[in-house]
Copies of this chain bind each other. A is one copy, B any other.
Amino acid sequence: MKKIIVQKFGGTSVADTDKIKNVARLVIREKELGNDVVVVVSAMGHTTDHLVKLAHDINPNPSARELDMLMSTGECVSMSLLTMAIQACGYKAISYNAAQIGIITENVHTKARIIDIKTDKLRESLDEGNIIIIAGFQSVTEDGEITTLGRGGSDTSAVAIASALNAERCDIYTDVEGVYTTDPRIVPNASKLDEISYEEMLELAHAGANVLHPRSVETAKHSAVPLRVRSSFKCEDMGTLILGVEKMEINKPVAGVAVDLSQVRVVVCDIPDTPGEAATLFSSLAKENISVDMIIQSYARKVSNTNDIAFTINKEDLDKTKSILDVVVKDLGAKEVSFDENIAKISIIGAGMIDRPGIASTMFRTLAENNINIRMISTSEIKISCLIDKENSQNAIKSLHEVFNLGCDTIADVKGTLPDV
């Protein structure tokens, strides 16, 4: 049986007809290597944003069901155009939308989770010699209601399809050349990683390097499908392979440095130290779907018998958090709440730090030597994050990138859109 390669092309890769023709060449190249090829596409360029804008012009609170109906159209356009481009080169190709295949989700709109992917039609079409092109991002419920997978949805579609088909690999083509040790716009000699583990990629993604949506990495990790992030435009470059840590040869303790500028620090001061106060606080936030990242609780002050609790949230949730805390803080009997947006979360990530002591202390010392105050610290098995003042973030990234020896000899040739810093 032939190997199946799943390829995913993002919006910038199919932004116009010339770019779609370029994608057709990348698809055919993979077919010519003797593989069966299944392609997942996003909507052309900024189509989805444009559709959402139209919706909000018409209705400030559009229903989620109708938004899904609307947004799912973009991928059908790029899907059929790419199919025509492949056919124009003399290859057999066929497109399918999510309803035709059966990419089944729970009955939730705008951020559904996949529960099943039918493979009958896909296997049959591959057996007939077709290259298959599938609309990403979209899905359906068992009842035929159209749903979408939320942010990063096409990546998730591609990985889930690769998993359902037991694909050899899932190649995520994008407008960057792979995963870098850090943002090359800040550190010009940032080096592209040849390999990285799912776990490291997840931590990088959560820490603000938005090359891939964490959900797609989680799905790939779960089914052990190797992912490759590579450029649609520099196509001879092999990009970065993301795979299980057990298959990697780890040379360096730290794989990358990431920065996240979207966090806000919240401090609730002088909470009377009674059992359950943290639970009350965080469950009230969880109820409203607000994710909390770093959490620090101070030792209870002996005299006043009160606590401080500090945590970070995403900027998007700031207004909601303020109105929730207005109530909760009174209930808890706390004295005051403060919010600080002028912060940056700097993280070093590496599966290699597990068995190597001293990585954390190197990080803290390096920041100290650069006169950078650490306001909060959190750690996981393969990540250490420090909250610092925003104005120090560039300096922090550069010095950490250097001390952990992540640079390459050449200046990175950065194309495309990297996350804003």
Interface residues of A (CB under 8 A from B): 17, 20-21, 51, 54-55, 57-60, 62-63, 65-67, 69-70, 72-73, 76-77, 79-81, 83-85, 87-88, 94-95, 97, 99-100, 144-146
Contact = CB atoms under 8 A, between A and B. Distances in A.
B17 A58 contact: yes
Contacts of A80: 55, 66-67, 69-70
A70 B63 contact: no
Number of copies of chain A assembled together: 2
A22 to B, nearest CB: 11
A84 B62 contact: yes
A352 to B, nearest CB: 46
Contact of A144 (B66, B76, B99, B145): B99
A87 B70 contact: no
Nearest to A21: B58
A58 B73 contact: no
B87 A59 contact: yes
A88 B69 contact: no
B58 A88 contact: yes
B84 A17 contact: no
Contacts of A85: 58-59
17 contacts: A54-B81, A58-B84, A58-B85, A58-B88, A59-B88, A62-B84, A63-B83, A63-B84, A65-B94, A66-B83, A66-B87, A66-B95, A69-B97, A70-B80, A73-B73, A73-B77, A97-B146
A97 to B, nearest CB: 8
Please name the 10 residue pairs, one residue from A and one from B, whose CB atoms are nearest each other, closest first.
Answer: A69-B80, A70-B80, A59-B88, A59-B84, A73-B73, A17-B57, A66-B80, A62-B84, A73-B76, A58-B85
Contacts of A100: 144-145
